Structure 1
């Protein structure tokens, strides 16, 4: 994923892991990055390690965009998750 100095960046704290989304990204890439622990078939040992970890769920999972902080739903297949993906996609891909 190549980005230039003017690329939009969105940060988050999800399942105890810091994530950075740098555009442009597809909606599927956004979904896989935000809900990384739900990737159905991890391809690398690092992905497998990341999914099997201790997690303190006392803190909220959030994505920080220019519009504010948004809570990350537990399930990537909910309406709220779709709305978050659309919001992040629009911010990372402003020309679309």
Structure 2
């Protein structure tokens, strides 16, 4: 996927993995990339390695957006996760 030089970019550290979200992503794509250990990406070469990964709550998982830093809940269905997803979606898709 090509992205423009001025496209939105969100970075984070989740479960010890650096993640970067760029350009226009759907809510499902964002969810899959942020909560990668819960929802394996079927196209990922790391699918087998990540499958069965258990969440380690001893680390602080964070996402950096234009609005600030947000802690990533361990469960994509947890209170606050939906709000974080909406924030990231709005930042990555500013024209919608």
> In proportion to residue count, which structure has more helix?
1
Q: 8 Å contact 2:25–2:89 — kept in the other structure?
A: yes
Q: TM-score, normalization: structure 1?
A: 0.86
Say if 2:32 and 2:40, in contact at 8 Å, map to a contact too.
no
User: Counterparts of 1:54 and 1:6 in 2: how far apart (Å)?
Assistant: 36
Q: Distance in 1 between matches of 2:87 and 2:32?
A: 15
Q: 2:55, 2:74 within 8 Å by CA — same for their partners in 1? A: no
Summarize the Cα distance change of 1:45–1:66 in structure 2 as closer, same or farther, 3 Å threshold.
closer
Q: CA deviation at 1:59?
A: 2.5
- Counterpart CA distance in 2 for 1:10 and 1:44 is 20
**Alignment length, in residue pairs?**
96
Unaligned runs of 5+ in 1: none
TM-score computed with the length of structure 2 as normaliser: 0.86
Q: What residue number does 1:72 align with?
A: 72
Alpha-carbon distance in structure 1 between the residues aligned to 2:54 and 2:44: 19
Q: Deviations over 1:14-62 (max 9, x none)?
A: 0110000002000000000000001157455512213456876432000
Q: Is the 8 A contact 2:57 2:74 kept in 1?
A: no
Contact 2:10–2:64 (CA under 8 A) maintained in structure 1: yes
